Structure 1
Amino acid sequence: MLDDRDRKLLDLLQRDADSALTDLSERVNLSPSACSRRITRLREEGYIDRHVMVLDRARMNVATTVFVMLKTAHHTADWLERFRAGVIDIPEIVEVHRLAGNLDYIIKIVVTDIAHYDAIYKRLVSRIDLFDVSAYISMETLKNEQAVPTGYAS
């Protein structure tokens, strides 16, 4: 069961996992050793999934985002496994979601430019049968938050 300190600690860590333990402990009003024990417990209980560094996409030369909406005529477990295998090893594909509603999947792809997207598109359609593919180029990112709300966890 999480308490308010746990939630505050998780909120701080997900915004900056590089925060010094002394800073974190002061912000949640705990000693550094007690704070360290809480972080260890939160990791062991699965609240902390992993630690990552968020890279600057412009500096990495993949500043263009393309959202691809997919429809498929196939809804079998075999097709889903082929689809999963088809997208998993393409590093430019950073998110894939199965949807409810008119579309089956949405894919977020980060690329250098539209020619780069075209190469990814060709790789994807050579691996799996798709019924309908629509691409939408992001013109501007209005919000890109990695942190999730901590108030709902128990």
Structure 2
Amino acid sequence: MQNVPLKLMRTAQADPDIPLPGYETDGAAGADIRANLPDGRTVTVAPGARALIPTGIAMAIPRGYEVQVRPRSGLALKHGISLVNSPGTIDSDYRGEVGIIVLNTSADPFEVSHGMRIAQLVLAPVVQAAFDAVETLDDTARGAGGFGSTGRG
């Protein structure tokens, strides 16, 4: 597996005792990132509500890469916690604090505690399109059919 350097910086208000993002197993694609809440408080996310959770981390992503922010499967299964814009994208030119927009899809309130693993980060290469306006597109068997038009499960 290739390692790409990713520079991380704690923000001024971050609790330095909260671990930096990290991989929980050798084969993990996503690095867990933790909530870094001011004054170590908790945030309660009501059923159907969303909240922006601070992480206390800013990063310098190398040009040609993005960091994708994805839900943690355990939180999704056990508590109905997902991310509103999943996967979220952190662009290589962004230098602000990483915030995680959580969504509570369950019928119960969910408490985000200081230091909780709240999401996972995946570093991924980026290819930008060279947009080319044309008058016609090539034909395919599918054509313009969409939204279930293939008839396949």
Larger radius of gyration: 1
Task: Select the structure that is richer in helix.
Answer: 1
Q: TM-score, normalised by structure 2?
A: 0.26
Task: Select the structure that is richer in strand.
Answer: 2
Q: TM-score, normalised by structure 1?
A: 0.25
